[in-house]
Each structure stands twice: as structure tokens, then as C-alpha cells.
Structure 1
Amino acid sequence: MKKLLTALSAFIVSGIFSIFALPNTQMVKADDTPVVTLGTSLTSSQRQGTINTLTASLNSSNYQTITITGSDLVKYLNPSGADFTNDSGVWSSAMIQKASSGSGINVHILPYNGRNNITTITANQYKNAALTAGISDADIYVTSATPIDGSGALAGVYAAYAKNGDKLNQDQINAAQNEMNTLSKITQQNKDKNGYSDAQLNNAIAGAKSQMAKQGQNISNSQIRDIVNNQININHLGDTINNNQKEQIINLLIQIKDSGALKDKNFQQQASQLADQIQAGAKNIFSKFNTPETRNWFQKIVDSVVNWFKSLFSGIMILNN
């Protein structure tokens, strides 16, 4: 279990701007002892400040630490398209703590000295990427002593696994990194549009993953396309997500399927929990979707069919009487 814990702990370790990338393996579960991951580029004062920030909720409880270096990034992230060197800096840090079974993946982005230095990636984007990476039932705390986009906050997981002798799935690493980059880019492109929110997008992705898992590893690309179209409509994104962005999402989910992520028996349950978490955290957005005025097209069609049958049967009963 300690191997798994260390792996998870490294979760949001990697570094500045392009010094970030995504992780993945089979559903990883944190151990009881929290693990703090620290970028090797931190100064002594930044290192201590990072530890203080990440462990504030522990009330002086025990924790472990692990340091991530540029060589870790080269080994595990360059195969997925990054261009790190052994001298690449690593600043972003995280703490991973086991959560009770069924709690799902919880991500907390913490300010460092009162400032949020994770400039681009959202908590929901981290959650979705962690799900693809194979993490389950964990509390993840993320911070950085310097401003960074956060586009690969899961990179340390792979280095931690490797240091403990566990084999990593590079296909899942690639899928997780692609997911982080894709969702972040789409949110940046749509952030000023009415009717769009990062929560809607990530809820659609989590919902799609859950539906894909129900159908299993043999799901076809055509079925994935149908699922994406359905989730876009359910989440009222049809007027904001353009065709190019939709194709990016479809290709991303196909890559996740091809990575083998759907084979894990916990994937569907964790995806459903993630969708519930996202909706609970953005009730002001999702509560609007359940009113008669804002129901999606599919719901309206179902309502029409149900009402038609009700009218038909009512007419038949009248004739029989």
C-alpha cells in the first residue's frame, strides 16, 4: 500500500508552465499516511512554505515527503510529447491523502502566501485527469510557490511509482496529459461566452466516461461520438462547443478507451461520483437545467412522447366507456 500512496502523492508535483504533465496507471489508492511531493527547484524557504501550506489541515499529524526532479519528467513525460531535460525546473507541489471508500477524488487548490499560483488548470480538470490516471478515493492538495499554468500537475505520480518499482502504463500517461491540455484549452477558448462554464465541460466529460465504462472496453468509436453529442446537449453546451472542439473531445475519449482505462472495475463508479461532485459544487449552474424553460432537447422529446401516449390512452378509455 505504501507504494501506491507514494505514487499518488507525487500527483501534482511537476513544474512550471511546460514543466507539468499528466499521470496514469490502474486505480491508485493513497495510503493512510499523507505524502507531500516537493519540486526540486524550490528554495529552502519555498520548500518550507510549501510544506506548511499543504499540511495545514493535518494538525501536526505525520506525513512523508518525496522530491521530484527534471530527470523524472524526462523519463515519464517526454514520451507523451513533452521536451523536458534533466535540468528542467520543478516547482509545483502536492499532498495526497487517502479518503474513505466511496469518497471519490477531491482536489483542493491552495493559495501560497495568499495567492493562487495555479493560473490555468481548474480543480475539476485535475479531477478528470486523475480519474483517467487511475486514482480513486483520494484527497489531493495542490499549490505552487511560483505562478504556473498547472497543465501537468499529475506528473510526479509516475516518478513515484517508478522509484518504488511499479510498472507504469505510458498509454494512460499520454491520455491523461492530453486530457488536461484539451480541457484547459477549450475552457480558455470559451471562458467569456455566455452559457459556458468549466463545470459544464468537466461534467460532460465525467458523464461520458461513466457511459463508456457501462458499455465496456469494446465500445465503438461511433458509440463514443453519440455519447459525446448526448453529453454536450445534456450539459447545454451545444451553443458554445464548436465542431473542432467536439472532435477534440471525441478523439480524447477514444484515446482514453484505447489506453485501457475502461478495464478498471472502479472507473465507472469513480466517474459517476465525479459528475455528482461537479454538480454539487456548481448548483447555481446545474439547477437551471431542470426547469421547464431550460430542459435539453432530448428531455423535451421524451416529454412529448410520454404526453402523446397519455393522450392516446386517455382517448381509448373514453371510447371504451
Structure 2
Amino acid sequence: MKKTWIKILTATMLVFGVMAPATGFASDNTPPKAIDEKLGVPIVVYGANLSEAEKESVKESLKVKEDPEVEEITVSGQDLVKYIKDSNSSSRMYSSAKITRKNAGEGLVIEIVTPSNITQVTSEMYANAMLTAGIEDATVQVAAPKAVTGHSALVGIYKAYEVTTGEKLDTDRTDVANDELSVATTLTQSAGVDDAKVAELLTEIKKDIAESKPATKEEVEKIVQEQLNKLEINLSDKDRQLLVDLMNKISKLDIDFSQWSKQLDDISNTIKDKFGSLMEDKGFWDSVKNFFANLKDTIASWFN
């Protein structure tokens, strides 16, 4: 019996030893994070309707304690009214975020750290809406302690951005950005268009608007239809009109669309750099699979 338990313990240590990060023993020598005296500390914004337990859960998800210093604020329904016209000040606010400024030209990096709890909005949708609102050059992490749509996080990001930069966002742009988020989620939820396809559609339409500078709604409608045809997306008349109306509003905003497109490319490249090569390395994953298959056989033989 004693030998059996020794074998079990050995097997457990083997498995956990494989799964543990290779840099585990070097962690003690890792220098602490430094406060960026030029750009300031990260801003953490919590939904006003979080309970204390939920707030602690969000702090853990956003790894607040790993930063040497943060500034913490709360976003409420009153902020919703400030940034979005005709909104409800009694809205429940649960989505939360941490925003860290970056140097000019470094672009946007969006990460949803609780993906199972943000049910409608994707990182690409946040990026699109943030650029519409005028937010550039930042790392943004979004979290929620329970399943929510994720819409209120955008308002929190607006507030945090103003706090961290000292700048005032154009409320016309933040209002249109909210419309954009709503249309994006409608196309994925109601029209059944893949969220990646929606992000591509919105971006390509914006690029065309930037290049051709349409003067009329009819010209915007033509651009929208051309991209729908190009991407082979079929929408109902109602959903198509929602998209046309949105893009007509965007075409009237003062936006540097070339910079917008560059930042979206940066986001895509960041994701590819992090995960693309590893996920595409079939030989690596085959070796992992074979290792665990052999390990399973070895452990099983100990008990025969």
C-alpha cells in the first residue's frame, strides 16, 4: 500500500511539474513593476452596482494587486447619461475595466479577462467603439464578476481615459461609439453574423468612408452595400438600415480613419504574435499529445 501511494504521489508531481511554468524558479529574481512617472498609474474603474464580494472578484481578475499603485474610480448611471444621449441613469453597472496609458503611436490592446462573463461584446467591438470615441494608445482589460452584456464597460473606459489623460472626450463621438457597439452586437446576436466578420465589415466600411469621403447618405449606403457584397454578408432590410444610419453618422465625425485602421492592424498583429505561431505549430502540439499519452501508459503500468 505504501509503495502504491508513493507511485501516486510521484505521478502527481510529474504531471504538475510538466504543467508548471518553466520560469517558476526564476520568479524571485523578477524586478517589481515600476510606476510610470510619465504616463501615470493604471486607472481601475468599477461598476457602481458591484457588491463588495463582486468588487473583490473583479480586482482579482484585473490583477490590481500586481500593480505597485493604481487609481480606483466608480462608474454609475450618471456617467452613462454624461457620455450617451437619451440613456437611463438608473441602468445597472457591473462591467469594470483597467486602463493603462501607452506612448503615442503604440496603439490599442484590448483584453477581456473574464470572457465567459462578457456575453455580447468582443475585444474587436470595444476597439472599434473606442477609436470612434477618440481613445487611442492604451491597454484596456475588461472584467465582470457575473454574466453581463459588457456594454457598460465602455462608459467606464471613457471615464477612466479622461481621468488618466486629463482630456475631455467629444460627447458626439462617444454617443456614436455607443450606437456602433449596439449595432455590432445586433448584427452578431440577431442577424447571426460572426463577430470577427462584423469587426471586419465595420473596419472596411470605415476605410472606404475615409478614402472616398462620401457627401451624402446615398453615397454611404453604396459603400455599405459594396462591403456587404464583398464579404458575402446578407442582412435584413432593418439591420442593413441600422448599419447605413450608423455609418452616415460616423462619416460626419472628425476622425482620422487612417490612424484608426493602423491601430486595428496593430491589435490583430499583437494577437497573432502572442498565439498565432504556437497554435499553428502542429509538431509542437503533436509532441505534447504524445508525451501525455506515453505518460498515461507509464503510470498505468505502475499499477499492473
Give TM class, smaller chain: 0.5 to 0.7
How far the C-alpha of 1:83 sits from its partner, in A, is: 1.9
How far the C-alpha of 1:166 sits from its partner, in A, is: 5.2
How far the C-alpha of 1:93 sits from its partner, in A, is: 0.4
Counterpart contact for 1:118–1:144, Cα < 8 Å: yes
Change (3 A) 1:99 1:224: same
How far the C-alpha of 1:98 sits from its partner, in A, is: 2.4
Classify the secondary structure of the residue corresponding to 1:153: helix
Report the counterpart of residue 121 of structure 1 in structure 2: 121
The whole-number CA distance in structure 2 between the counterparts of 1:236 and 1:278 is 22
After superposition, the C-alpha distances for 1:2-48 in whole angstroms (9 at most, x for unaligned) are xxxxxxxxxxxxxxxxxxxxxxxxxxxx9452211112222223222
After superposition, the C-alpha distances for 1:118-165 in whole angstroms (9 at most, x for unaligned) are 111122211111111111122211111122111342112444538997
Classify the secondary structure of the residue corresponding to 2:141: strand
Report the counterpart of residue 69 of structure 1 in structure 2: 76
Query: Of 226, 236, 256, which aligns to 2:250?
Result: 256
Change (3 A) 1:158 1:94: closer
Report the counterpart of residue 268 of structure 1 in structure 2: 258
The whole-number CA distance in structure 2 between the counterparts of 1:55 and 1:170 is 31
Unmatched 5+ stretches in structure 2 = 1-37, 273-304
Change (3 A) 1:127 1:251: same
Instruction: Say which structure is richer in helix.
Output: 2
126-135 or 154-163: bigger deviation: 154-163
How far the C-alpha of 1:244 sits from its partner, in A, is: 2.6
What TM-score do the two structures reach when normalised by structure 2? Answer: 0.67
User: Is 1:176 aligned with 2:170?
Assistant: no
Counterpart contact for 2:107–2:266, Cα < 8 Å: no
How far the C-alpha of 1:270 sits from its partner, in A, is: 1.8
How far the C-alpha of 1:275 sits from its partner, in A, is: 5.3
What TM-score do the two structures reach when normalised by structure 1? Answer: 0.63
95-104 or 157-166: bigger deviation: 157-166
Change (3 A) 1:254 1:147: same
Percentage of pairs with the same residue: 28
The letter of the residue matching 1:104 is: G
Unmatched 5+ stretches in structure 1 = 1-29, 283-321
The whole-number CA distance in structure 2 between the counterparts of 1:272 and 1:204 is 16
Counterpart contact for 1:206–1:272, Cα < 8 Å: no
The whole-number CA distance in structure 1 between the counterparts of 2:202 and 2:266 is 12
After superposition, the C-alpha distances for 1:154-195 in whole angstroms (9 at most, x for unaligned) are 11244453899754433222211111111101111233xxxx
Query: Of 189, 196, 199, which aligns to 1:199?
Result: 196
Q: CA RMSD in A?
A: 3.0
User: Is 1:92 aligned with 2:95?
Assistant: yes
The whole-number CA distance in structure 2 between the counterparts of 1:246 and 1:208 is 13
Classify the secondary structure of the residue corresponding to 1:149: coil
154-163 or 45-54: bigger deviation: 154-163
Which structure has the larger Rg over C-alpha atoms? Answer: 2
Counterpart contact for 2:95–2:151, Cα < 8 Å: no
Change (3 A) 1:60 1:277: closer
Counterpart contact for 1:126–1:153, Cα < 8 Å: no
149-158 or 117-126: bigger deviation: 149-158
Counterpart contact for 1:207–1:272, Cα < 8 Å: no
The letter of the residue matching 1:146 is: K
Query: Of 231, 235, 244, which aligns to 1:235?
Result: 231
Q: Matched residue pairs, number? A: 234
The whole-number CA distance in structure 2 between the counterparts of 1:277 and 1:48 is 29
How far the C-alpha of 1:51 sits from its partner, in A, is: 1.6
How far the C-alpha of 1:65 sits from its partner, in A, is: 1.4
Counterpart contact for 1:73–1:159, Cα < 8 Å: no
Query: Of 185, 188, 208, which aligns to 2:205?
Result: 208
The letter of the residue matching 2:151 is: S
The letter of the residue matching 1:143 is: A
Report the counterpart of residue 112 of structure 2 in structure 1: 109
Counterpart contact for 1:152–1:177, Cα < 8 Å: no
How far the C-alpha of 1:106 sits from its partner, in A, is: 2.2
Change (3 A) 1:31 1:225: farther
Higher relative contact order (CA 8 A, sep 6+): 1
Classify the secondary structure of the residue corresponding to 1:120: coil
How far the C-alpha of 1:213 sits from its partner, in A, is: 2.1
Report the counterpart of residue 240 of structure 2 in structure 1: 246
The whole-number CA distance in structure 1 between the counterparts of 2:175 and 2:258 is 20
Report the counterpart of residue 302 of structure 1 in structure 2: none
Classify the secondary structure of the residue corresponding to 1:141: strand
Classify the secondary structure of the residue corresponding to 2:190: helix
Counterpart contact for 1:41–1:89, Cα < 8 Å: yes
The whole-number CA distance in structure 2 between the counterparts of 1:189 and 1:212 is 25
